[in-house]
Amino acid sequence: MDDALLELLEKLAKFGEDNDTRETERPKRMLNITRDTGRLLWIIVRATVATRILEVGTSNAFSTIWLADAALSTRGRVTTLKLNPEKIALARANLAAAGLDVVVEIIEGRAAETLPTLPGPFDLVFLDADRPSYPTYWELVVPKLRPGGILIADNVISHAHELQDYLHRVKSHPQLFAVTVPIGNGEEIALKLDDRLETSAHNALANHALQRTGGSRYSPPRP
């Protein structure tokens, strides 16, 4: 990420903060992620070499730019969903200013309606939209997340009282391993486990333990 893009992101961050101080109506507010959350997203995309990235909730593309810039290095693309036409226009302008519009597809419409139409699998999914709909989005995105993929949800600390149902679903899901990270407004980061790898690793550890103690080799039960 070069200095020019960091300067643009700082301008967008300040614009969002100033705008949200003035505006009281939710549709007119930017409700952007924090700068640290943006850096976290950038690092995770780069570290996991994510190429198929889905964002639910675009706003003015502040978070989208963090994701898209990281996706450049992985030769990936970002699909982002938004309903508000005015914010979509603003997002397109900001992405063009960042030179990242070529790696981002904006899909206009209600996420609950557009999500089922998207082909998976995705390597990383970022939820930052209307919080009451998180459980609905969760139901739709988890099947589209590849084994080994990452699901990130914003605002889980700042609005924990609104997201108890979502957090319970994530933390109790047998295929997800999750942690709450106290960065920005709080990020719930979940890894979708690969059952085949988990079984293989478990069997290998069991065999190793038995061999060390002189026991017989572990054999998994036949189905």
Q: Is the pLDDT of residue 223 over 70?
A: no
48 versus 196: the higher-pLDDT residue is: 48
CB-based contacts of 11, cutoff 8 Å, min separation 6: none
- For residue 116, how many other CB atoms are within 10 A of its CB? 10
Q: What is the pLDDT of residues 114-161, one digit of tens each?
A: 999 999 999 999 999 999 999 999 999 999 999 999 999 999 999 999
Q: What integer pLDDT is reported at residue 116 of this predicted model?
A: 97
* Domain extents in the chain: 3-192, 196-223
Q: To the nearest whole percent, how much of the chain has pLDDT over 90?
A: 84
Q: What is the pLDDT of residues 88-127, one digit of tens each?
A: 999 999 999 999 999 999 999 999 999 999 999 999 999 9
CB-based contacts of 90, cutoff 8 Å, min separation 6: 60, 61
Q: What is the DSSP letter of 220?
A: P
pLDDT band at 1 (very low <50, low <70, confident <90, very high): confident
Mean pLDDT on 60-84: 98
Average pLDDT over the chain reads 91
Look-up of token digits 């690969």? 194
Q: What integer pLDDT is reported at residue 195 of this predicted model?
A: 76
pLDDT band at 204 (very low <50, low <70, confident <90, very high): low
The amino acid present at 58, given as its one-letter code, is T
Q: Is the pLDDT of residue 42 over 50?
A: yes
Backbone angles phi, psi at 124, to 5 degrees: -150, 135
Q: Domain 3-192: which topology?
A: Rossmann fold (3.40.50)
CB-based contacts of 153, cutoff 8 Å, min separation 6: 126, 127, 128, 134, 163, 166, 170, 187, 188
The amino acid present at 41, given as its one-letter code, is L
The C-alpha atoms of residue 217 and residue 206 are separated, in whole angstroms, by 8
Q: Is the pLDDT of residue 220 over 90?
A: no
State the pTM of this model. Answer: 0.87
Q: To the nearest whole percent, how much of the chain has pLDDT over 70?
A: 87
Q: What integer pLDDT is reported at residue 197 of this predicted model?
A: 60
The C-alpha atoms of residue 90 and residue 171 are separated, in whole angstroms, by 35
Q: Is the pLDDT of residue 187 over 70?
A: yes
Q: What integer pLDDT is reported at residue 214 of this predicted model?
A: 60
Look-up of token digits 């930052």? 128
